[in-house]
Amino acid sequence: MTVTPLLFLLPGVLFFAVYVVIPIFQSFQISLYDWDGLGEATYVGLENYSELVGDRAFEISLWNNVKWLVLYLLAIPAGLFIALFLNQTVAGIRLYKSLFFFPFVLSQVVVGLVFSWFYLPREGLLNAVLGFFGAGSINVLGDPTLATYGIIAAGLWPQTAYCMILYLTGLNAVDPEQIEAARLDGAKGRHMLWYVVIPQLRPATFIAFVVTIIGALRSFDLISIMTNGGPFGSTRVLSFYMFEQALSEYGFRMGYGSAIAVVLFMIMLVFIGYFLWSMWNEERQSGH
């Protein structure tokens, strides 16, 4: 047993503990207190959690998180479709590929701004197009039933590009001999895609799934730029609501914010658990 590996690990472990692990447990602890972040904290047990149960704003945020998680996954098939479409050799394909990848290079803030202008009720491009076809104008971001979907659509734009690039590299690794063999056996079109190509893209799909889930849970910046949680709180997600309750201009409820953070952490834990399990599985299989 030598100490060298431990010494090499030490800085990483230290930072990870100070900035990630210990704060997680601190959040658990703070969520049991009523604390304004300034004065004395009072222990209230699980009161913050029982308040969450009856809090309609929390319920809306939770449902919005679910919408984000489900709809954001659309980026995976959309990215695959574009990747398949671009995976051919025609003149200038590199240019087309980079054009499709372009939105991922933009900052989320820019994407949010561009889309909020696109959605503007009077001058926006969307309503100009709708008006051209004689449809009435809609105010996507001002309508509580539409606003969340409007923001998700904005988020899908760069996320699709991300999935596309993952699949493009994945397609390079598809074994041409297997394609050839399948073709000889009479597979084509849908069957070829489903039974031959997609199974070989499994690693790319796994990564695309991971980054999309993470992307869906990191929707904070788009929401903050496009609607600021409004109209009247209808586009909040848990992370935004937590920020509002604990850290924003009017937020002085550290305990309540921490309780929201704990719930968000639990949701993430489901996915993290799944990722860890499937990675472990993969390693075990390849170990044989």
Partner 1 sequence: MRSIIKTPLAALAATTMLAGTAFADGHAALSGTLRIMSDMGNPAPRAVIESLAAEFDEMHPDLTVELDIVDREAWKTQIRNALSASPPDVVNWYAANRMGPYVDAGLFMDISDMWEAGDFEGLGAVQGAMTLNDRQWGVPYTYYQWGIYYREDIFNELGLSEPATWEEEVANCQVIVDSGRACYSIGTRFLWTAGGWFDYLNMRTNGFDFHMALARGEVEWTDDRVRQTFANWRELIDMGAFLADHQNYSWQEALPFVVNGEATAYLIGNFAVPHLREAGLTDDQIDFYQFPAITEGMAMGEDAPTDTFHIPSGAENVPAAQEFLRFVTSAEVQTRINGPDALGQLPINAMSEVADDEFLQQGFDMLANNATGGIAQFFDRDFPAEMAALGMEGLQEFMVFPDNLDDILNRLEQSRQRIYE
Interacting residues with partner 1 (CB under 8 A): 36-39, 56, 120-122, 139, 141-142, 227-228, 230-233, 244, 247-253
Helices (H) and strands (E) in the chain, counts: 16, 2
Taking the CA of residue 185 as centre, how many other CA atoms within 13 Å lie in the half-sphere pointing to its CB? Answer: 11
Tokens of 79: 């990215």
Nearer to partner 1, 133 or 250 (CB): 250
Closest CB 225 distance from partner 1, rounded Å: 11
Closest CB 106 distance from partner 1, rounded Å: 22
User: What string of DSSP letters covers 164-177?
Assistant: HHHHHHHHHTS-HH
Nearer to partner 1, 10 or 18 (CB): 18
Comparing CA positions, the residue from 229, 259, 244, 248 lying closest to residue 30 is 259
Closest CB 231 distance from partner 1, rounded Å: 4
Closest CB 241 distance from partner 1, rounded Å: 12
Closest CB 108 distance from partner 1, rounded Å: 19
∠ CA 78-81-87, nearest 5°, is 140
Nearer to partner 1, 104 or 230 (CB): 230
DSSP reduced 3-state for 43: strand
Nearer to partner 1, 3 or 38 (CB): 38
Nearer to partner 1, 232 or 280 (CB): 232
Residues 6+ apart with CB under 8 A from 42: 33, 34, 35
Comparing CA positions, the residue from 92, 67, 112, 148 lying closest to residue 222 is 112
Question: For residues 235 and 288, what is the distance between their CA atoms, to the nearest angstrom?
Answer: 48
Nearer to partner 1, 45 or 287 (CB): 45
Question: For residues 11 and 22, what is the distance between their CA atoms, to the nearest angstrom?
Answer: 15
Closest CB 156 distance from partner 1, rounded Å: 21
Distances (CA, A) of 18 to 9, 23, 141: 14, 7, 39
Closest CB 36 distance from partner 1, rounded Å: 6
Q: Are 157 and 111 in contact (CB under 8 A)?
A: yes
Nearer to partner 1, 193 or 230 (CB): 230
